[in-house]
Each structure stands twice: as C-alpha cells, then as structure tokens.
Amino acid sequence: MRFVIVTGLSGAGKTAALKMLEDAHYFCVDNLPIALLEKFASLMPEIHGEDVQNVALGIDARSGRALGELEVVLDRMKDSGYDFQILFMDAEDKVLVKRYKETRRSHPLARSGRVDDGIRLEREKMEFLRKRADYIIDTSRLLTRELRQEIEKIFVKNEKFHNMMISVLSFGFKYGIPVDADLVFDVRFLPNPYYVDELRPQTGLDESVFNFVMDNEVARSFADKLEDMISFLIPNYVSEGKTSLVIAIGCTGGKHRSVTIARELYGRLTKNTEYGFRLEHRDVEKDRLLKK
C-alpha cells in the first residue's frame, strides 16, 4: 500500500492533486486533524484490500496551531516503521495572489489582511514540510492536464521524478520580454524567414520555416552550445532547490526564428527523461490576430 501525504501552499493545487489521486483509485481523506494522523496510519493495514490499494491524505494550513506538532508526529511515525511519502504543492507568490484575486476567495491565514501577507506566513509555517517532501510540484506554469500527467507519472506509473519543470518559451521582443523568464536568449542574429516571400506568412511550426532557419551552420552551432549550457545548468539549479525554470528564446516577432530554436532545444532536452518539460510559443499567432 502506498501512503501519500499531500500538502503545500493554499492555492497551489493540493485539492486538485487529491482529486486526481482519487481518480487514480487512491482512498483520499482531506484535512484530517493532526491528532488523528497516527491512528489513521495504524488502521491502514485493516482497510487495505481489493477496494483500497493506496491512500492519500491532505494536510494544510487549516490545521492551525496543531500544524506545529506535525513534525514530531511524522518523526514518530518514521520511527514506528510507517512508510509514507510527502507531495508538496507549490507556486510562485505572484501566481498565488492572482489565483486568489480571480476566485475572490480569502487566504486562510490572511484573516482581514492582505493575501500576500497570508502567503508569506503560510510559507514560514509550511517550510518544514517542503524540506521533508519527497516530491515538489510547482504549478505556477502548469496546465491542469500537465499536472495530471505529473501526478500519474509519479503515483500511478511509478516513473522516476525530479522536482524540476522546465518551460521552453518562444516570444517576440516587440511584445515584451516574458516577466517570468529565468534565462533569455536573443536569436535575432539568425537569417530571418520574414524576408522570404513564401515563408513570411508561415511560422516556425511549419517545416519549411524550421528547415530554412536550421539549414545554417551558425544556427546549428548555437543550438549545440545552448543545449550544452542548459544541460550543465539544470542539475546545478536542482541542487540549489529550484523547482521550475523558464528558458525564453526571442526574435523580433516571436513567429519564425524563436519558434524554430525553441522547438529544436525542446527536442534535444526531452531526451533526458529525468525532468519535466513543456514547450510554449507565446507570440506565434500575434501578427495574424492583430491583422484581424
């Protein structure tokens, strides 16, 4: 039987993760009082059977002052031989604030204060759980289907998982540099398909544009050097506790060269199955939409 404690910051996706585990036939309990945690664990052998193969338990800041006792309880459970894993759901502060504004909900620790004050206080209270976590999923840039894929990868397919989600993002400088970019690369030095009449209306998603850009020694050499540097950086970011990385690649309009290089880099990086990867083209359709 697999015993998973699902926790993390309010608004980061804990409830969604529990629902996804329930869909995967986990027996799920949310917001169980800390005082009952050991008793619940002791009953697991009795409920294990054809109907209950795995269990997921949700714990968060709603536990109040009892949350301070959780670390002692977890240590005691480890000493008693209970085998459990901790999944910590996280997200950037600005993303959490935006989600609360969109849903018009109040933060459980904010009381009558500001949401960002509640988030800051919650981070402090939950830090010991984040340090103990076996898995950390940062949902700042994850779509619901991508979160489901990560949950299934870890808790259904039992695949190897590293706490790092890497986004390769193409963009156009004329629309602004992505505010969430960790690394920004300018590929405006490459030959521009915009000046080829038959390629101008196409994008880097079309093979003719992709081949035009990559059929160039400078582009191939740049892709080699970029892959080498990113492959070097990723494990070093992981060792420092970073859980998400946004690699932004820009050209003038975000339609041809940046899309091509983003595709090329994504194809190379995804050969490494230890990390999660996603590819996004922010501005690839901007020109067409603006003309409309």
* Tens-digit pLDDT string for the chain (292 aa): 789 999 999 999 999 999 999 999 999 999 888 888 988 888 877 776 657 789 999 998 877 777 878 889 999 998 888 889 999 999 999 899 888 888 777 787 776 678 888 888 899 989 999 999 999 999 988 889 889 988 998 898 887 666 788 999 999 999 999 988 999 999 999 999 999 999 999 999 999 999 999 999 999 999 999 999 999 999 999 888 888 899 999 999 999 999 999 999 999 999 987 888 899 999 999 877 776 5
CA dihedral 150, 151, 156, 161 (to 10 degrees): 50
Contacts from 263-272 at CB under 8 Å and sequence distance 24+? 263/204, 263/205, 263/210, 264/210, 264/214, 264/223, 265/168, 265/223, 265/226, 265/227, 265/230, 266/168, 268/223, 268/227, 269/166, 269/168, 269/227, 269/230, 269/231, 272/231
What would the two tokens of residue 44 be?
A: 């697991």
Question: Is residue 179 within 8 Å of residue 98, measured between CB atoms?
Answer: no
CA 142 from chain centre, in angstroms, equals 5
Q: What is the pLDDT of residues 82-139, one digit of tens each?
A: 889 999 999 999 899 888 888 777 787 776 678 888 888 899 989 999 999 999 999 9
In 3-state terms, what secondary structure has residue 6?
Answer: strand
Nearest residue to 64 (alpha-carbon basis) of 15, 14, 20, 108: 108
- How high does pLDDT run on average in the chain? 89
Question: Is residue 183 within 8 Å of residue 261, measured between CB atoms?
Answer: no
Question: Is residue 256 within 8 Å of residue 193, measured between CB atoms?
Answer: yes
What would the two tokens of residue 53 be?
A: 């193969």
Residue with tokens 């018009």: 104
